[in-house]
Amino acid sequence: MLYPRDWKTYQHNRWEYNNDPDSTYIQTSIFAPPGAFNPETGYLASGIRVMFFRPRNGYVWNGIIDRWPAAFKQRMLRMNHGFTFTDSLSIALDQIPSRLYTAIGRNENVSEVELDRFIISAQPNYLLSIEFACPNSQANTYDQYYEVIQKSFRFGLEGGTRN
């Protein structure tokens, strides 16, 4: 994935223990302009947050492809009061069927209206969310970055599945 040279990167990996099916590996990568990400709170004012979820080795998620986008939207709205989703499109991300959601809003974390776009891809062997965040007043500038970044994204997986 390409991103502007002056942006900083942050990485976080963890195992989350739950019942789907026992544990999930989560890798989070943040790409943000200087000062746009707060590692203490996790707040991203502008930039990109990529979250990659993988089930425990030897497991797959059954039925997740239909459930996860709706669950993602519900979780995002619970965590971000003052936001609403405005539209949804079917897209392909590196030839993998995905959904693009747009959210707009303002809450106690943001000084102006924020525009967030989320690309969601759900497969039995992984879940992926990519958040593109920016202040609404800078949407045109960031759209240029995000279009290039979206086109440069590569899964490194053959047809969305591991060989």
Specify the pLDDT at position 57: 77
The answer to whether 45 and 39 are in contact (CB under 8 A) is no
For residue 24, give the CATH number of its domain: 3.40.1000.10
What residue has token string 């989560």?
Answer: 26
Specify the pLDDT at position 17: 62
> The whole model's pTM is what?
0.82
Residue 162 located in a structural domain:
no
Q: What is the rounded CA–CA span in Å between residue 21 and residue 55?
A: 7
Q: Which domain holds residue 133?
A: 8-152
| E strand or H helix at 144 | helix 139-152
Residue 56 located in a structural domain:
yes
At residue 20, the 3 state secondary structure works out as: coil
Best CA proximity match to 46, nearest among 120, 115, 130: 115
pLDDT along the chain (163 residues), means of 10: 82 68 76 91 88 82 76 84 87 86 83 88 86 90 82 64 41
Residue 159 located in a structural domain:
no
C-alpha of 7 from chain center: 17
Specify the pLDDT at position 3: 74
Q: What is the rounded CA–CA span in Å between residue 128 and residue 137?
A: 27
Beta-ladder partners of 8: 32
Specify the pLDDT at position 163: 37
The number of folded domains in the chain is 1
Residue 144 located in a structural domain:
yes
Specify the pLDDT at position 18: 58
Residue 77 located in a structural domain:
yes
Residue 160 located in a structural domain:
no
